[in-house]
Amino acid sequence: MNVPLQKIVSALGGEVLINRPVRHEFDLLAIAQEGLPMESITHLQKNMGFTNKTMSHILAISESTYQRRIRNQAKLNKDETEKAIALSEIYAKGMEVFEKKNDFEYWLNAKIVSLQSQKPIDLLDSMIGRKQVLNVLNAILHGIYL
């Protein structure tokens, strides 16, 4: 992982919202098997400034299913949890790079030349897109402006 484990956990609301201790990456594997609680996901969603529609799109579930899971305090399935963990890594890296939430949100919604003039937010619904967004954030962090 490109981001310290505790920053990923913090982006998901910490061990309190995750409902288990997280000491190493194998704990994230166990969390993926169990599924993340919706409280953790809504915490990440709020931090990223996403609507329910955007978050449900990224997780590849319908908005109505997403809202029902929030109401029922359900958990995500394994695939959705893995996407959320990857998204939390992007959030943690974005905050490391931009330091201010508003600056990171602006960048997520701006057309970025190094992403073929696409908005980072539009790439977060695929593994390859998330990887590209993370690569650009790492480049920016190291003073490489692609």
pLDDT digit string, tens, across residues 15-51: 999 999 999 999 999 999 999 999 999 999 999 999 9
- Structural domain count, the chain: 1
Summarised one tens digit per residue, pLDDT across range 63-72 is 999 999 999 9
Nearest Cα neighbor of 44 from 84, 83, 80, 98 is: 84
The pLDDT score that the predictor gives to residue 1 is 57
The pLDDT score that the predictor gives to residue 2 is 73
Residue 145 in this model has a pLDDT that exceeds 80: no
pTM for the model stands at 0.93
Residue 92 in this model has a pLDDT that exceeds 70: yes
Mean pLDDT of the chain: 95
Range of the domain at 25: 5-142
Residue 97 in this model has a pLDDT that exceeds 90: yes
Q: How far is CA 17 from CA 36, 44, 60, in A?
A: 9, 11, 22
Q: How far is CA 123 from CA 5, 111, 128, in A?
A: 23, 11, 8
- Decide: 89 and 48 in contact? Cβ < 8 Å: no
Give the pLDDT mean for 62-89.
Answer: 96
Distance of CA 88 to the CA centre of its chain: 3
